Amino acid sequence: MTLPDILTRAPVIPVLVVDDVAHAVPLGRALVAGGLPVLEVTLRTPVALDCIRAMSGIEGAIVGAGTVLNRQMRRAAAEAGAKFVVSPGLIEGEGPDGPAPLLPGVATATELMAGLAAGFTHFKLFPANIVGGVDALKAYQSPFQQAKFCPTGGVGAKNAAEYLALPNVICVGGSWVAPADAVRAGDWDRITALAREAAALAPRAPAPVEG
């Protein structure tokens, strides 16, 4: 499965910080039930790899790893079952192909040019709300027409649609669909409802050209 295949499955990729392995499967099932099959489990907790292993068995789920900072973490995530990996930046010496497809983060035009030179075409704009957000992506559209983005960082229910309306945005990433208090309380119905709302944010098709 290629990275574009994965990123086009749903308009929103949940960015998950899971502290308890017991929450992993019900959380994943709740999100998939709401229409968000692509799940990014960040490697920010000691149980993250175990959560990826557990969630990889969920029917319909495509589980990846986030906060991947180096080659070793990329390999470990792939061995745990991650179908893709996400990094907050470019990883020196790492290209698009490897143990699992890599979505690297960029914050500047210089980093974007370095990523394109390394063979990447899909990028995570991070942290989107700090590095220019929608305006930055509009500015990148003309000089970097081959680049597609998944903005993450400060993206939520109130502004996700604005990002998704941009032609160079393929999806967005965010944590709002799995609030920490809902996960702790096991309120899976609430998470499914939030996921359903996010899944409905699919960008509108361009208007047909007349004549």
CA distance 180 to 176: 9
pLDDT digit string, tens, across residues 101-127 = 999 999 999 999 999 999 999 999 999
Q: Is 59 a catalytic residue?
A: no
CB contact at 8 A, 23 and 183: yes
Token readout for 71 is 């080659």
CA distance 84 to 77: 8
CA distance 178 to 112: 30
For the chain, give every domain's residue range: 3-197
Q: Backbone phi, then psi, for 148, in 5-degree steps? A: -120, 150
CA distance 81 to 99: 10
Cα dihedral 47/184/68/152 (nearest 10) = 170
Q: What is the model's pTM?
A: 0.93
Token readout for 2 is 């290629």
Does the domain spanning 3-197 belong to CATH 3.90.740.10? no
**Catalytic residue of the set 40, 83, 94, 148:** 40
**Catalytic residue of the set 92, 124, 197, 210:** 124
Instruction: Report which residue type is found at 190.
Output: R
Which of 47-51, 126-130, 157-161, 206-210 shows the lowest mean pLDDT across its residues?
A: 206-210
Residue 205 has a pLDDT of 42
Q: Is 124 a catalytic residue?
A: yes
